[in-house]
């Protein structure tokens, strides 16, 4: 959600209530008691939840979770937190975790802004990744885009100094907006130089969504920015 002052908060997503497949239901039934995290339980204790040290990576809006499971399998010593509001996607991810023997991902099924505000401790994350957020391509809907200055302040406060923010989109206008917003914000450094996008080769596993877009001739833009300075605690993002 995006804070609009005195107005009702604007959500950056539309909650779709699609049916779950048998595999997705199985993933939820078996996986949620093992890997699910409940909103409202206070600040997350990473050590208790993962029972292993290691880098901490948060992914917001993982969709069906293909790339997140691939990353979890490839980096078993890294601790991943996934946030997704759509239950079928959560079920799919957990079914894939069961199939691939992946045990280093924990999942919230809730609004990411509220999770960041209430559950993620300050300066606790090594990386935040947001791949293919809804571009809200019509100009009148741009206010719904997730990557806005107040949300970036919230992300920055949860990253460790030197922590990485990795964004990706297949909508060029959104890539330009994200580059502009991050370029103007204090406390961020573009890892690849001013106004430069990150090379795509090997920076993350491709998703089925991305492959489908490539077949249709879509471009893809990756941005990688590091937190560089001490930051003040941001005002709550509602």
Known catalytic residue at 134: yes
Chain-wide mean pLDDT for the chain? 87
230: its two tokens: 């001490």
pLDDT of the residue at 207? 77
User: Are 163 and 227 a contacting pair, CB within 8 Å?
Assistant: yes
- Beta-carbon contacts of 113 under 8 Å, excluding residues fewer than 6 positions away, are 1, 2, 151, 154, 237, 238
User: Which one from 103, 118, 126, 134 is the annotated catalytic residue?
Assistant: 134
Sheet holding 79-83, edge to edge: 36-37, 105-108, 79-83, 56-60, 125-131, 159-169, 221-227, 188-190
- Beta-carbon contacts of 233 under 8 Å, excluding residues fewer than 6 positions away, are 122, 157
124: its two tokens: 């606790």
- Beta-carbon contacts of 110 under 8 Å, excluding residues fewer than 6 positions away, are 39, 83, 85
Query: Could you list the mean pLDDT of each consecutive 10-residue stretch along the chain, which spans 238 residues?
Result: 44 64 96 96 94 96 94 97 96 98 97 95 97 72 78 95 95 94 95 92 78 79 90 55
113: its two tokens: 């802004």
Taking alpha carbons only, the member of 19, 38, 22 closest to residue 30 is 22
The Cα–Cα gap between 116 and 107 comes to 13
Q: Which CATH class is domain 48-227?
A: alpha beta
Q: What percent of the residues of the chain are helix, what percent strand, and what percent coil, each to the nearest 5?
A: 35, 20, 45
Taking alpha carbons only, the member of 164, 121, 171, 124 closest to residue 145 is 171
Domain map (residue ranges) of the chain: 48-227
The Cα–Cα gap between 85 and 98 comes to 20
Which stretches of the chain are DSSP H helices? 22-35, 46-50, 66-74, 87-100, 112-118, 149-158, 172-184, 208-215
pLDDT in tens, 12-41: 455 566 789 999 999 999 999 999 999 989
Taking alpha carbons only, the member of 184, 55, 63 closest to residue 128 is 55
Supply the pTM of this predicted model: 0.87
User: Are 80 and 35 a contacting pair, CB within 8 Å?
Assistant: no
pLDDT of the residue at 15? 59
pLDDT in tens, 134-173: 874 656 546 768 999 999 999 999 999 999 999 999 989 9
Q: In which residue are the tokens 């471009």 written? A: 219
């Amino acid at each position: 959600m995006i804070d609009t002052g005195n107005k009702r908060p604007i959500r950056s997503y539309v909650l779709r209530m699609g049916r779950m497949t048998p595999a997705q239901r199985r993933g939820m039934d078996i996986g949620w008691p093992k890997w699910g995290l409940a909103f409202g339980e206070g600040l997350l204790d990473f050590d208790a939840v993962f029972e292993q040290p290691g880098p901490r990576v948060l992914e917001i809006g993982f969709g069906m979770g293909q790339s997140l499971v691939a990353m979890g399998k490839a980096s078993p010593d890294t601790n991943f937190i996934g946030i997704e509001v759509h239950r079928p996607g959560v079920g799919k991810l957990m079914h894939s975790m069961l199939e691939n023997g992946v045990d280093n991902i924990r999942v919230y099924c809730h609004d990411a802004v509220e999770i960041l505000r209430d559950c993620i401790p300050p300066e606790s994350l090594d990386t935040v990744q947001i791949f293919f957020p809804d571009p809200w391509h019509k100009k009148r809907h741009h206010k719904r885009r997730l990557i806005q200055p107040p949300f970036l302040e919230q992300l920055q406060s949860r990253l460790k100094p030197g922590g990485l923010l990795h964004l990706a989109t297949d909508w060029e206008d959104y890539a330009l907006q994200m580059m502009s917003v991050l370029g103007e914000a204090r406390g961020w450094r573009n890892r690849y130089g001013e106004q430069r996008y990150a090379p795509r080769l090997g920076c993350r596993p491709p998703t089925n969504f991305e492959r489908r877009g490539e077949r249709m001739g879509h471009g893809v833009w990756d941005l990688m920015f590091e937190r560089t300075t001490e930051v003040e605690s941001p005002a709550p993002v509602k």
